[in-house]
Amino acid sequence: MSETQRDKIGALIVAAGRGTRAGLPYPKTLYPIQGKPILWRLLDVLRPHDPQPTVVVSPGGQADVAASLQLGGYTAHLVVQPEPRGMGHAVSFFKDSPAYACVEHVILVWGDIPFVQAETISEMVRVHRTHVNDFTFVTRVVDEPYTIVTRDAQGQVRGVVETREAGSEKQAHGEREMGLFLFRKEAVMSLLQDELPGKWGGHTGEHGFLYLIGHLVAKGYKVEAIPVATDMDLVSLNSLSDIRDYL
């Protein structure tokens, strides 16, 4: 591996949802906000780091995503998650991308967060490289967090808990992740293959992704959460009501 490749970043957008839970007949990453699909917005902010990201799609959504890319003049590598078995399962298909062998670090972003700020991504990349991290992710302290970042007495990340999987009620306040991560490829992709505790969600039955963070910490990898997310970064399309104010 060359020196350039050891530092090269690739981007991965997970957009394999079918849109049905949001009441859409197409993948929700294609939902237009102010005339611009969410996917285009993500490709624009990722371009400085990777001009040709990989997008994980469902079999039924592949044609629609490909058509949207062509319409907008964007290029991306499309890889198919054959069945909806969770975020971790979707991420594992990055290995099928032509970009896989060419990068050492991966920016991972969920495909339903339309207002990710370019400055937020740049700061994550800066911290990841400067601190020589293995896994870096972006957080914010909010009311009733859906996911909760746990830290030790020294402020170091211990893991991330998804409240519905923990079977606990939402906390009044807490630090949550936002669906934006940067990691060293080899560390994460290898762990995704292992049958580790927490891999399969008790509530969803799906192969999650956030469980990996605690395992990376336990194995001695350098993990850092940076609380720089903005309110706009946190907006996500779970239902159309979530983005009504931004149309």
Residue found by looking up tokens 């399309």 in the block = 237
Which amino acid, one-letter code, is at 55? V
Element (H, E) at 126: helix 118-130
Residues 128, 134, 139: CA angle, nearest 5 degrees:
55
Question: How many other CB atoms sit within 10 Å of the CB of residue 185?
Answer: 19
Confidence (pLDDT) at 247: 65
pLDDT of residue 177: 98
Cα distances (Å, whole numbers) of residue 31 to 44, 87, 184, 223: 16, 20, 31, 33
pLDDT top residue among 238 and 92: 92
More confident residue, 23 or 217: 217
Q: Which of 102, 90, 134 is nearest to 2 (CA)?
A: 102
Quote the pLDDT of residue 6: 60
Q: What is the pLDDT of residues 133-188, one digit of tens each?
A: 999 999 999 998 989 999 999 999 999 998 877 665 667 889 999 999 999 999 99
Nearest CA among 64, 61, 71, 65 for reference residue 53: 65
Phi, psi of 240 (to 5 degrees): -60, -25
Q: Are 103 and 5 spatial neighbours (Cβ–Cβ below 8 Å)?
A: yes
Cα atoms found within 13 Å of the Cα of residue 7, Cβ hemisphere only? 7
- 111-143 per-position pLDDT tens digit: 999 999 999 999 999 999 999 999 999 999 999
Sign for the pseudo-dihedral over CA of 192, 109, 57, 146: positive
| pLDDT confidence of residue 1 | 41
Q: How far is CA 215 from each of CA 177, 184, 192, rounded to the nearest angstrom?
A: 17, 14, 11
Least confidently predicted of 17-26, 171-180, 200-209: 17-26
Task: Characterize the bridge pairing of strands 32-33 and 36-37.
Answer: antiparallel
Average pLDDT of every residue of the chain: 92
Can you give the three-state secondary structure of 161-202, one letter per residue? EEHHHHCCCCCCEEEEEEEEEEEEHHHHHHHCCCCCCCCECC
Q: Which domains does the chain have, with CATH numbers?
A: 3-241 (3.90.550.10)
Assess whether pLDDT exceeds 80 at residue 80.
yes
Cβ contact 162:244 at 8 Å:
no
Cα-Cα-Cα-Cα torsion 151, 232, 179, 136, nearest 10 degrees, comes to -50
Q: How confident is the model at residue 61, as a pLDDT?
A: 95
Instruction: Work out the pLDDT band at 22, boundaries 50, 70, 90.
Output: low
| Percent with pLDDT over 90 in the chain | 81
Closest to 157 measured CA to CA, from 221, 104, 91, 106: 221
Q: For the whole model, what pTM was predicted?
A: 0.94
> Can you tell me whether residue 103 is helix, strand or coil?
coil
Q: For 36-70, write each residue's pLDDT tens digit.
A: 999 999 999 999 999 999 999 999 999 999 999 99
pLDDT for the residue numbered 202:
86
